[in-house]
Structure 1
């Protein structure tokens, strides 16, 4: 599912425009599985599934597979509907250069929400 992130984000012109000043790489961990996501001027350039020996990433977002599953459900329950809500509940760990994450928080919220189940596919 995370492999579709690149097409979903890059297909949203508004989101790409919102991230036009964002160029970074970050690590997304879903349980024991790591993904290195590279962004250049708001476009996701690559999503590389681990294991990644020495990732070069500005920051990392780590949560259990169950928590990500709730976040990516069609209608996430309260407390699982937002990245900051996950952090507040202490089920999502954000580590590293959090300035990049917080400066572009809306971009990351909307980009990761692109993986939510929609319509009949849910």
Structure 2
């Protein structure tokens, strides 16, 4: 997938998150904007009390965000496989593997880590059941 394709998938987060009351409840103390980047394509995600208010694709000049999670499009593609390979199963593992990086004020990310990890894993719903990271190197 390309960065633009990743951005289109992230554009579906409002419907995926806002219909999930348990997830909204877990994120109820998070309000603000964070950045997810795939290749050179920035995607700003605005959250208010756990609900995704907006997902906007850049580029933007001087757009503020609290924290950012940046990775190549291939890493996001592997993260969203039905059964991701070890190291691609969550965003923290991706940083340890060296395929993603975190930037900015990490306090709100760490305070809401489960929520953010679950939000960013939701696109796995679109993975084909036969897709598996088990055989990938």
In the superposition, the TM-score normalised over structure 1's length comes to 0.95
1:14 aligns with 2:22: yes
* Equivalent residue runs for 1:102-113 within 5 Å: 102-113=110-121
Q: Which runs of 5+ in 2 are unaligned?
A: 1-8, 132-137
* Paired residues, number: 122
* Equivalent residue runs for 1:20-99 within 5 Å: 20-99=28-107
Kept after mapping to 1: 8 A contact 2:82/2:129:
no
Give 1:73 shift.
Answer: 1.2
Q: Root-mean-square deviation (CA), in Å?
A: 1.5
Structure 1 runs (4+) deviating above 3 angstroms are: 118-122
Provide the rounded CA distance (Å) in 1 between the counterparts of 2:43 and 2:60.
8
Q: Which runs of 5+ in 1 are unaligned?
A: none
Please give the secondary structure, in 1, of the residue aligned with 2:120. helix
**CA deviation digits over 1:27-68, x for unaligned, max 9?**
110111110100000000000000111111001110000001
In the superposition, the TM-score normalised over structure 2's length comes to 0.85
Provide the rounded CA distance (Å) in 2 between the counterparts of 1:20 and 1:75.
28
